[in-house]
Amino acid sequence: MKLKEIETKEILINPFSMIEDDWFLITSAINGKVNTMTAASGALGHMFRKNVAYINVRPERYTHDFIEASQILSLSFFDNTQKNKEILGYLGRTSGREEDKITKSGLTLSYYEEIPYFEEAHTVFLCRCLFRQPYTSKGFLDKNVEDYYYPKRDYHDMYVCEILKTLIRSNPK
């Protein structure tokens, strides 16, 4: 499956199902080392006069260290299949600190310049971080959301990332 570059504004997707149902990998590299994590929440939009993706990463996640150091990353979206759910589930449960989970996943790692991504994805956004804001209790206007998602008060950092390039599968299924 070959990926081809398109203009970001030309992409025809349903961001709601793509983010929640397909899931995606947030992948970053530092000093020749790559780490990835699974995500199933975020947003796509327009901010700071740029096309952007909003992602959430907890500071204790290994990938957070990579994002903070490099400030570049990819978001790789996969078809919603049982096989992909198993692979992405594994990549979300397993820490890259403990094992080479990317190799064990069987996915093919590629690079666009310095940004790592996965060839099996149907859509890839290559991004540069513009803004980071930690969630705090003070920010929650609906305390039920905070209590449900953060009972331990282990908040995410939200990143606003400029989408530099968009890659899509050239041979859609």
- How far apart are the C-alpha atoms of 65 and 119, rounded to whole Å? 23
Identify the pLDDT of residue 12.
86
Tally Cβ neighbours within 10 Å of residue 157: 17
Give, for all 173 residues of the chain, the pLDDT tens digit: 589 999 999 998 888 999 988 899 999 999 999 999 999 999 999 999 999 999 999 999 999 999 999 999 999 999 999 999 999 999 999 999 999 999 999 999 999 999 999 999 999 999 999 999 999 999 999 999 999 999 999 999 999 999 999 999 986 55
Nearest to residue 107, comparing CAs of 25, 39, 19, 22?
Answer: 25
Buried b (16+ CB within 10 A) or exposed e, 14-39: eeeebbeebbbbbbbbbeeebbbbbb
Beta pairing partners, 3:
169
Beta pairing partners, 30:
33
- How far apart are the C-alpha atoms of 44 and 125, rounded to whole Å? 10
Identify the pLDDT of residue 171.
63
Identify the pLDDT of residue 56.
97
Nearest to residue 25, comparing CAs of 70, 60, 67?
Answer: 67
Surface-to-core class of residue 77, CB atoms within 10 Å of its CB (0-12 exposed, 13-18 middle, 19+ buried)? buried
pTM over 0.75: yes
- How far apart are the C-alpha atoms of 96 and 160, rounded to whole Å? 24
Nearest to residue 50, comparing CAs of 15, 20, 14, 9?
Answer: 9
